[in-house]
Amino acid sequence: MTRELRAPRFLAALPAPVRWLAVPTALACTVVVLIGSWSAPERIETPAPAPKAAGYCRALAAALPQELLGHPRKDPTPASPFVAGWASSPRVVLRCGVDRPDALNGPAAKDLSPTINDVTWWPQQLDDGGYRYTSTQRKAHVEVTVPGGAFANPLDPVAALSAVVAATIP
């Protein structure tokens, strides 16, 4: 007994060339959508600090914790002594030797800056709801980016890192 394969009704009404191309076209579209949804590797700009600041940044890199608030350290690639990250989701990133933000020249900058463990941090709210904190009044500026949703309180990672910053960067 032979069994005849039949196309579903909605395909049977179409001309033969269209029926033949329907499945390959659907598969190709699925592949395109899947590839397009994959995110590109995270690209983090590596600072190029002056030689004296670079020395402070190397000391900070050696002293940074391997775990931050329960999240293991996962540095971005390529490795650099000026960039560190922790595998929170999304990732918290520390960059050392960044330029001093121009916005710190305004009078309101001092009013908004919290001081934790003798390190003053200038906050900037990001488009994703997270914050970027930049240390002020240090010989090398440190920037900690806490994306929205990474922590209930975005200042927690900064508080955890403040003692290390204070100990390594005068």
Model confidence over 40-98: pLDDT tens digits? 445 678 888 999 999 999 999 999 999 999 999 998 888 888 999 998 778 899 999 99
Q: pLDDT value at position 88?
A: 75
> Does 2 score more than 90 pLDDT?
no
Classify residue 114: in a domain, yes or no: yes
Say if residues 123 and 158 touch (Cβ distance below 8 Å).
Answer: no
* Residue 108 vs residue 74, higher pLDDT: 74
Query: Is 74 part of any domain?
Result: yes
pLDDT for position 166: 96
22 and 63 share one domain: no
pLDDT, residue 12, reads: 65
Same domain assignment for residues 101 and 72 = yes
Q: What is the pLDDT of residue 113?
A: 79
| Full DSSP string of 90-136 | SPEEEEEEEPPPGGGGSTHHHHH--EETTEEEEEEE-TTS-EEEEEE
Residue 43 counted as domain residue:
no
State how far the Cα of 88 lies from the Cα of 157, in Å rounded to an integer.
10
Residue 76 backbone dihedrals phi, psi, to 5 degrees: -65, 160
Residues 27, 64: one domain? Answer: no
My answer on whether 22 and 73 are in the same domain is: no
* Number of domains, the chain: 2
In a shared domain, residues 34 and 55 = no
More confident site: 115 or 166: 166
Query: What pLDDT does 43 receive?
Result: 66
Q: Does 6 map to a domain? A: yes
Residues 24 and 79 in one domain: no
């971005």: which residue's tokens? 76
Residues 105 and 69 in one domain: yes
Question: Closest Cα partner for 132 from 152, 155, 112?
Answer: 155
pTM tops 0.85: no
| Of the candidates 148, 118, 149, the residue with the CA atom closest to the CA atom of residue 136 | 118
The first and second tokens of residue 170, run together, are: 């005068």
pLDDT for residue 39 is more than 60? no
Position 46 in a domain: no
Same domain, 17 and 62: no
If asked whether residues 154 and 85 sit together in one domain, one would say: yes
Residue 44 lies in a domain: no
Are 18 and 57 in a shared domain? Answer: no
Whether residue 160 contacts residue 133, with contact meaning beta carbons closer than 8 Å, is answered with no
The predicted pLDDT at position 134 comes to 95
d(CA 165, CA 140): 10
Averaged pLDDT of the chain: 82
34 and 82, same domain (yes or no) = no
For residue 28, give its domain range: 1-38
Same domain, 98 and 163: yes
Q: Which two tokens stand for residue 55?
A: 């020395």
What's the pLDDT score for residue 37? 45
14 pLDDT higher than 90:
no
Report the SS3 class of residue 31: helix
